[in-house]
């Protein structure tokens, strides 16, 4: 059941305070041309919606966690309220991008989207939180905003609020960047979790710390994103989830 919530007033109020930073690290100092096309379309939409924005890029850092920490530091030193981190090998349909922005304007502090993982193209890097009684994916619904609650989401297309970074700092360390002579918060870290012994990537590390302090990781399932390599692999997590949850007999009929 949808919550009673004045979504229009909330978005209108938050929009007056909202400023988006789009940030991308470029490992090989180059971006895929579909990424550039999607970026131009998204910036045009932000301009039409009169949403202020900035663009942060970092070229040539071979350590992805350090690169993202550098971008996060730049964000925290800016006047932006939200950071949209997008990998350089992504392209996306505008509708999914705007769904995430709308969720951020509604007050959701961390919202990502799923996309096919490289070399494991039927996996979206998403681990949903299931209701222990029904086995259904848990989530939140406010009018036309329908988000899924996740244990973790991939970090290549994700929007963080400033509050999400600030509330997680008590769980984090700082480190000295001797090149730039700056102390950075270690928001992102490739890590082996001490209790489980599981190695996690830099984005999941932050999400674990964020959830430990009461934060909720949300996923906008209905976003169509293409992950580029030697070719592009397109995926929509909502479609993927719907297909995988169909009865086996129905899947067989469609495959025939």
Question: What angle do the packed helices 7-15 and 94-105 form, to 10 degrees?
Answer: 90
Q: Who has greater pLDDT, 4 or 120?
A: 120
Confidence category of residue 242, pLDDT binned at 50, 70, 90: confident
The pLDDT score that the predictor gives to residue 1 is 41
pLDDT digits (tens, 9 = 90+) for 133-190: 898 999 999 999 999 999 999 999 999 999 999 999 999 999 887 777 788 999 999 9
Q: Tell me the CB-side half-sphere exposure of residue 166, using CA atoms within 13 A.
A: 9
- Report how far residue 206's alpha carbon sits from residue 81's, in angstroms, rounded to the nearest whole number: 18
Indicate the domain borders of the chain. 7-163+219-255
Q: Report pTM.
A: 0.88
Q: Mean pLDDT of all residues in the chain?
A: 91
The pLDDT score that the predictor gives to residue 256 is 46
Looking at the DSSP bridge assignments, the partners of residue 130 are 137
Q: Tell me if the domain spanning 7-163+219-255 has CATH number 1.10.3470.
A: no
Pick from 195, 192, 238: nearest CA to 219:
238
Q: Examine the pLDDT at 109 and tell me if it is beyond 80.
A: yes
Q: Where are the alpha helices (DSSP H) in the chain?
A: 7-15, 33-48, 64-76, 94-105, 162-168, 202-212, 237-244, 248-255
The pLDDT score that the predictor gives to residue 229 is 79
The pLDDT score that the predictor gives to residue 252 is 47
């Amino acid at each position: 059941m949808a919550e009673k919530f004045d979504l229009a007033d909330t978005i209108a109020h938050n929009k007056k305070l909202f400023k988006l930073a789009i940030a991308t690290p470029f490992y090989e100092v180059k971006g895929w041309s579909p990424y550039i096309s999607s970026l131009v379309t998204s910036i045009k939409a932000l301009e039409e919606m009169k949403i202020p924005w900035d663009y942060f890029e970092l070229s040539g850092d071979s350590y992805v966690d350090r690169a993202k920490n550098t971008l996060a530091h730049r964000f925290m030193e800016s006047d932006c309220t939200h950071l949209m981190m997008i990998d350089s090998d992504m392209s996306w349909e505008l509708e999914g991008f705007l769904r995430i922005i709308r969720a951020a304007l509604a007050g959701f502090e961390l919202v990502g989207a799923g996309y096919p993982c490289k070399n494991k193209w039927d996996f979206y890097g998403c681990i949903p939180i299931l209701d222990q009684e029904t086995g259904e994916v848990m989530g939140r619904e406010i009018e036309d905003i329908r988000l899924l609650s996740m244990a973790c989401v991939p970090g290549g297309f994700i929007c963080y609020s400033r509050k999400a970074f600030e509330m997680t700092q008590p769980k984090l360390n700082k480190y000295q960047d001797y090149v730039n002579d700056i102390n950075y918060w270690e928001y992102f870290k490739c890590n082996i979790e001490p209790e489980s012994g599981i190695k996690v990537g830099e984005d999941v590390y932050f999400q674990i710390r964020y959830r430990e302090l009461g934060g909720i990781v949300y996923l906008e399932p209905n976003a169509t994103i293409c992950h580029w390599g030697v070719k592009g692999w397109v995926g929509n997590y909502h479609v993927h989830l719907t297909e995988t949850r169909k009865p086996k007999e129905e899947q067989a009929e469609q495959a025939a």
